[in-house]
Every structure is written in C-alpha cells, then in structure tokens.
Amino acid sequence: MHKFRIGIIGAGTIGRTHIETALKNPNVELVGVAEPFEAGKAWVQKHDIPWFASYGDLLDRAKPDGVIIATPNDAHANVAVDCIQNGTAVLVEKPIADTLANARSICDAAQAKGLPALVGHHRRHNPLMREAKSIVDSGVLGQPVSMTAMCTWYKDDDYFKAAWRRESGGGPVLINLIHEIDLMRFIYGDIASLQAMTSNAIRGFEVEDTAVVMMRFVNGALGTVTLSDATVSPWNYDLAARETDRFPQQDINSHFFSGTHGSLTLPKLEVWSYKDQRHWEKPISVTRSEPLRASPYEAQLNNFLAVMAGKETPVCSALDGLRALEAALAVRESASSGQAVQLAKS
C-alpha cells in the first residue's frame, strides 16, 4: 500500500490519540493538524507536526487524501461536508453529528462524491469485539434473549470545562452511550424500539448526567443500559477493556448477553453454559478465551487507509454512524415524551 497523506482536524483529547496513532503508521504521512485554539496549537507544534489555523488551510495547503475529524460534535457535519466536497475522504469521530439532518448531509455528500466516510466507533475494531460477534453468530448462546450493559463511572470537574460537553450537542448520551448503542448493534443487530429516562439531578447541566434505557432488538431480544458519568463506579467498558492507557484497568465485565443456551460477558469473553442438562439447580460452567490485545485506534486507521485504497469496506460506515445517532437521539426524545420510540428499519 502506498503512503496516504492524512490530516487531523482538532487536537484535543482524542485528536491527540489519532495524531500519535498516525505517527506510528508506516503507511501514513501526517501532513498536518488543523487546530484553531492555543492549547492544541502549542501541543501540535511541540511535536514538530505541521500546524494549520483552520481546516480550510489544511485542505488547501497540505492537500490530504483523507482527514480524521476530532472536533466537538456540533462541528462534525460542516467540517466533514466541506472536506468531502473538497475531494477528501473522512473518518469522523462519533457521534457522526449532533442531529440526524446533519448526519444525513455527511452520508449524502459522500455518496454524491463517491468518497469514503467512516465513523469512529472504534470498539468495532477491537479483536475482542470481533471474537464476541463470532461467538454470538456461532449460535452457542442459542436464541438471543437479553442483554445488559453498565456504563457508569466518574468524570472529573476539569472534563466539563469544555462547554460543548455540557450542552445539548454533547452530554454522556451522545458522547458515551452512543458507543454502547453501536456495540449492541454490532453484536445483536438493529434496535427496533426503545424507551428511556434521563436525569441531570447530580450535575445540573443542560444535558443529562444519568440515563436508563430499555430496548427491543429486531432479533427479538430485550436490552437495558444504565449510564452515568456522575457515579463512583468501575462498571464501564472503558475501564475494563484496556483500549487506552488513559484509564487504569479494572477486572470487571460491563456487558452481559444471554440466550436460551448460554451467556457471554464483555470484555472478559466468558461463555457460560450447562455441560449437560439446562437446569437452574445444576452447576453452570464457564469457558474463558484470552482475546488478542491490539489497539482499536490502529486497526481503525488501517481500515480507513484500506477503504481509501479500495481494498476493504468500512468496518463502521456513515450509515452505521447515522443509525447509532438515531437511537441515541431517541433516548432523549423518549425521556422527554415518556413514550417508547420506534426506530427506522435498516
């Protein structure tokens, strides 16, 4: 594969992960980072990387083949559509956008230009997630019946100094729950309908700090998710899956998939089943497979390059991003109306 000219837009928390990942990739020439604000600019220049004050400058002067967009959520659509219209492939951080109309504008622009548009639901690229999917697809769980996900931990006050994280384009539903939704769609398939409650009682921000969600999947299974960024608690995939050194690892499971013949936990990949008779008074046994450990951010970048080279399809397409956003926004809609929300069929 030849070297691709890659630009990165936004040098905040995750933008820096993308920069470090790009610098390590032998098939990438990191041609520049666009970051209008001083803190990000200083970080970029300290690392001796070409810096641009705006993404327009980056596109005009560095002429990247593809860009990774790591700006606040409400800027994703404008930036992505401009890049695509400029002839540049995009990998947009999740959520794909802050509204469904904005998400559709990215899908439409990419289709019109025939350019790749991928979304950064990076967990799909983790080998453990692929192993989980193959376990469920192999049928060892029998008929899928239920799933439960815990997404609770404590975010510090500094995290909320960035205003967008406290406003309606941000919040843990769009920043975190959307990862759970994408993970569940990846393993169990589409969500048919959901009902939710949210609360901002702890932090008092415009956005929720806590949510509970009930879902019905198209495959017939039911699911629940508990989400809160205001609890001292380790029950969270980010703290368990060892995807980044940012989070001290906890020896816990965060996701529980159960079927008529067995159950699967994540991220520990435990499969529970009966050896002989299915009977609640008989011993139930567990098998554990040691998943390959690899950086999902590196695999995600490799998929972006391979899609640009015409060698692979997106592991997480713009349409996948749109479907996850639709479900995340339905959580807020259901919480405010008190009604269940039906989701579109894929």
What's the rounded Cα separation, in Å, for the pair 303 and 289? 25
Residue numbers 42-61 binding ligand NAD by CB under 6 A: 55
Q: Which is nearer to ligand NAD, 93 or 180 (CB)?
A: 93
**Pattern of binders to ligand NAD over 167-186, x per CB under 6 A?**
--------x-----------
Q: Residue 82 or residue 131: which is nearer to ligand NAD going by CB?
A: 82
Nearest distance in Å: CB 36, ligand NAD: 5
Which of these segments, 7-15, 110-118, 222-230, 284-292, binds ligand NAD (CB under 6 A)?
7-15
Q: Report 305-324 residues binding ligand NAD (CB under 6 A).
A: none
12 near ligand NAD, judged by CB under 6 A? yes
Residue entry with tokens 């230009």: 113
CA 229/CA 236 separation, integer angstroms: 10
Q: Which stretch binds ligand NAD (CB under 6 A): 64-72, 198-206, 209-217, 336-344?
A: 64-72
CB of 179 to ligand NAD, least distance (A): 7
Closest contact distance (angstroms) between CB of 260 and ligand NAD is: 34
Distance, CA of 81 to chain centre: 20
Bridge-based pairing of strands 51-52 and 28-34 is: parallel
229 φ/ψ angles, rounded to the nearest 5 degrees: -100, 15
Which of 21, 71, 88, 152 binds ligand NAD (CB under 6 A)? It is: 71
Q: Can you tell me which of 32, 40, 116, 259 binds ligand NAD, judged by CB under 6 A?
A: 40
Which residue's CB is nearer to ligand NAD, number 223 or number 296? 296
Distances from the Cα of 130 to the Cαs of 127, 134, 190, 194, 294, in angstroms?
Answer: 5, 6, 17, 25, 12
Question: To the nearest whole angstrom, how small is the minimum distance from the Cβ of residue 333 to ligand NAD?
Answer: 20
* Part in contact with ligand NAD (CB under 6 A); list of ranges 29-37, 225-233, 274-282, 312-320: 29-37
Tell the smallest beta-carbon distance from residue 126 to ligand NAD (Å): 11
Question: ∠ CA 134-315-149 to the nearest 5 degrees?
Answer: 55
Q: For the window 98-137, what string marks contact with ligand NAD as x by the rule CB under 6 A?
A: ----------------------x-x---------------
- Distance between alpha carbon 283 and the CA centroid of its chain, in Å? 37
Best CA proximity match to 80, nearest among 94, 64, 93, 69: 69
Region of 21-29, 68-76, 202-210, 281-289 interacting with ligand NAD (CB under 6 A): 68-76
DSSP helix/strand/coil, 212: strand
The per-type count for the chain, helices as H runs and strands as E runs, is 11, 15
Complex with ligand NAD: residue 9 or 264, whichever CB lies closer = 9
Phi, psi dihedrals of residue 295, rounded to the nearest 5°: -70, 120
SS3 43: helix
CB 189 within 8 A of CB 343: no
Give, in degrees to the nearest 5, the angle at Cα 24 between 20 and 29.
95
**Binding test (CB under 6 A) with ligand NAD, winner from 28, 68, 75, 97:** 75
Shortest approach of ligand NAD to residue 72 CB, angstroms? 6
CA distance 152 to 233: 6
Whether the CB-CB separation of 220 and 233 falls below 8 Å is answered with no
Instruction: Provide CB contacts within 8 A for 13, sequence distance 6+.
Output: none
Binding site residues, ligand NAD, CB under 6 A = 9-15, 34-37, 40, 55, 70-73, 75, 93-94, 120, 122, 162, 175
